[in-house]
Amino acid sequence: MARAMFEYTKTVLKKVSFNSDLFCKELEKALTRLLPYEVDELTIWLRQFTANKPELYSCLALIK
């Protein structure tokens, strides 16, 4: 079940990546719902996903 939440989170983030405000809100939700090791995986995925999307860089500050 937890893995499904991780995949769902990635799907949602991909769909809202056109709007940085929505992206940040969904990322905040994801960080509260995912398990710690999934947050680590999400961090790696986010760095790759946002590599060519400079408008989303500000949202990466939510990850500590």
Residues in the chain: 64
> pLDDT (tens digit, 0 to 9) for every residue of the chain, 64 residues total?
658 999 999 999 999 999 999 999 999 999 999 999 999 999 999 999 999 999 999 999 998 7
**pLDDT score for 43:** 96
| Helix (H) / strand (E) containing 64 | none
- pTM assigned to the model: 0.90
Instruction: Specify the number of domains making up the chain.
Output: 1
Nearest C-alpha neighbor of 53 from the set 17, 29, 22:
17
User: Helices (DSSP H) in the chain: which residue ranges?
Assistant: 2-15, 20-33, 36-49
Asked whether the beta carbons of 58 and 24 are under 8 A apart, the reply is yes
